[in-house]
Structures are given as structure tokens and as C-alpha cells.
Structure 1
Amino acid sequence: MEKTALLLVDIQNDYFPNGRMELHEPHKAAQNARKLLDFFRNNSLLFFHIQHLSQQPGASFFIPGTEGADIHETVAPLEGEIVIQKNYPNSFRETPLLTHLQEAGIEHVVICGMMSHMCIDATTRAAADYGFRCTVIEDACTSPALSIRGRTIPAADVHDTFMAALNGLYAQIDTADSFLEKMKK
């Protein structure tokens, strides 16, 4: 069986109600991510908490040292669990993630978290380019609504568009329950 690791990307307080960058249905995505985390914990499989910390001048969220930058309680790391801090959308850029995965002999990464159109997209494409087989758990990811040329694209459409774009060449798109059913076989 191929060696699999879970990446929980940026499930942080600023993306939840009263945060500085609230996303569409973050609790639903976090609950599905928690199902995955519980399975990986209970089966002693490798997983990584990824935490974004803003370094850009004028950044409005994920400010280091603020509660908003903390990983949300739904998927909060336990003592001794690996937390990889990043400063860019791509979870591999200037972090030890690739080294950890290679040293563990990981062939398949399961990716979930926030935001579908930014850090999930960048991390998935990078993982595929590094030769990992990727599965994105679409119901454990979410995005905000986005605007361009005076038009607002609803959050669900942003999310679905990015899942559709990743599906096939870069990743297999699945749901938490479907993925876990396959893993239990």
C-alpha cells in the first residue's frame, strides 16, 4: 500500500466568524478536516498541520502573535504533532515540508484546508510537481467570494471552479466520507 500523509492547510481562526477574513462555511470544512485528522491520528499515519503567518507589510490577517493566526480548535495540534509554519500560499516554499515527506517515503498526499483558490491550489500543484499523487478533500476546503471587474463570484462557485481545475491532472477530488470509506477497506 502506498504511503500516505495528510496536510491540514491553514485552518486558522481568522477564517472563522469574527476573524479578519471569514470564509464561506468554515465550520463545515473544519469538521470534515477533523474526520480526516481523527482517522490519521487513530491509525498512526503521518500528518502535518500547516500554519500561515503573514510577513508582508500591511497584512490584514494571520498576523504572528494574534489569536487569529492560531490553528482553529477543531483541528488544533496536540503536543508533539508537527506544525509547519509558512509565509506563502505554497506550503512547500521555504518550509521543511518536502524534506519531511521524502524522508518518510510518502507517495500520496491528502490535502484539505483553506483557501481553495489560494493555498490549497498552490500546495496541490506544487505537490503534484514534486511527484506526489494528490487527493484533495473538497468538502474539507472552502473559499470566500471573490470580485473582478465589478462582478462578485459566489464563494461556492470559486471553490467548485478550483476543485474542477485541479481534478484530473493535479489531483483526485473526493469527499471526506468517501475517502475514509476507501481507506478503511
Structure 2
Amino acid sequence: MKRALLVIDVQNEYFKGKLPVTHPKDSFQNILKAIDSANEMKIPIILVQHSNLDKDAATFKIGTDEHDIHEEVLKRDFDKIIEKNLPGSFTETDLEPYLNEKGIETVVICGYMAQMCCDTTARQAMHLGFNVEFLSDATGTLDISNYAGEISAEELHKAILVTQAMRFSKVMATIDWINSLEKL
């Protein structure tokens, strides 16, 4: 199965902006490990960058430091950057044609937010016929509170992993994913 690693929204907004990721605590280090392993195994790496098109945007505003992809990610080799404006990485982007052109059968999901952009992208990929691997400790989130209620980052993350494993993805820890690559 030819794979591609999707590194979703690993942007400064989650490190120094209004949306600090809190769970799992080592998610960023695991994202970097996944990127490094993908590079070693010659797996294409696609960085996905969320851009808020609203000129008065509170988050992911184009032209701000918070919008930028984290510098540690940009220091590593990657194949392409996809810009998106909605949670799904396939919506109104050239991701699907790019993956099809490269003969990709499996997409590997890592990045932020597990319950929003990672989850939506994984579901879209499955609906489009791709196999999906969802890296449990290389996706992350934060505590959420809004008019519908509140949930801790840990509870939210676990709920997404359980739901992904029900139908959409093969959920696995980064080290297990890396070990599975070495057996190929």
C-alpha cells in the first residue's frame, strides 16, 4: 500500500496563539518522529495549512505568525503544502488529485485538532476510497467549552480515537506505525 503522511495544521496558532494544544502532551514530538520516519522510508509528506479568509479573523489569520507552519516542521523535507479554508483537507483543495496522481492508497493522519480537521480529513479520505491510518499520539487537542457544554482534551481525544477506530481508520501509536513500516 503506497502511503502519504498528512501533517494537518501544525501551525503556530497551537503553540503561541489562542488555541494551545494540551493533550497528548508529546503530540508534537510524535508528529516530528512521524515526519522523520516518513522521510526515511521515502513516504510523501503533505503539509496542510489552515487559512482563515476573514480579514478580521481571530485565529489562523493569513500574514500572522500564528498562521505559519511550525518552524520545526518546515526544517524537514516535505513534498507539498496544501492550503485549506475548511476543516476537511480535501474540500476545495487539490489534495485528492495529487494523491491519485502519486498512486497513494493510504493516508496517514497526524496533526491538530484531532476532533476537527484530523477527524474530518480522515472521514473524507475513507469516503473517497483511501485507507486511513490515524496516529493516536501524533494528533492532539485542547479543552473545549462552548454553549453546548464542555469536555476535557483527554476525553475529547479519546472519543475521537474510539470513533475513528469504529469505522474510519486504523488507529495506532506513532511507534507502532513506525515499526509497521520497518517490516515492509
Letter in 1 for 2:155: D
Equivalent residue, structure 2, for 1:14: 13
1:85 maps to what in 2? 83
Question: 1 CA distance for matches of 2:148 and 2:96?
Answer: 39
Checking the alignment, whether the CA contact within 8 Å between 1:49 and 1:77 is kept in structure 2 is: no
CA distance in 2 between counterparts of 1:37 and 1:64 reads 25
The equivalences for 1:1-185 within 5 A come to 2-16=1-15, 18-25=16-23, 28-56=26-54, 58-76=56-74, 78=76, 81-148=79-146, 151-185=149-183
Superimposed CA distance per residue, residues 130-170 of structure 1 (whole angstroms, 9 cap, x where no aligned partner): 00000100100111112255742111101110111111310
SS in 2 for 1:128: helix
Deviations 1:22-44 (A, max 9, x none): 12147621110111111111222
Identity within the alignment, %:
33
CA offset digits 1:25-64 (Å, max 9, x no partner): 4762111011111111122221100000111354211100
How many equivalent pairs are there?
183
Cα separation, 1, equivalents of 2:25 and 2:12: 11
- Show structure 1 runs of 4+ deviating over 2 A: 56-59, 77-81, 147-152
The change in CA–CA distance for 1:26 and 1:51 in structure 2 (over 3 A counts) is farther
Q: What SS does the corresponding residue of 2:168 show, helix, strand or coil? A: coil
Query: Separation in 1 of the partners of 2:59 and 2:51?
Result: 8
Q: Does structure 1 conserve the Cα–Cα contact (< 8 Å) formed by 2:109 and 2:132?
A: yes
Letter in 2 for 1:51: Q
Distance change in 2, residues 1:73/1:25 (3 Å): farther
* Aligned-residue offset at 1:80: 6.8
Q: Is the 8 A contact 1:30 1:74 kept in 2?
A: no
* Change over 3 Å in CA distance of 1:80–1:3 after alignment to 2: closer
* 2:3 alignment partner AA: T
TM-score w.r.t. the length of structure 1 is: 0.92
Q: How does the TM-score come out when normalised to structure 2?
A: 0.93
Q: Secondary structure at the match of 1:168?
A: helix
Q: Which runs of 5+ in 2 are unaligned?
A: none
Give RMSD over aligned pairs. 1.8
CA distance in 1, matches of 2:4, 2:131: 11
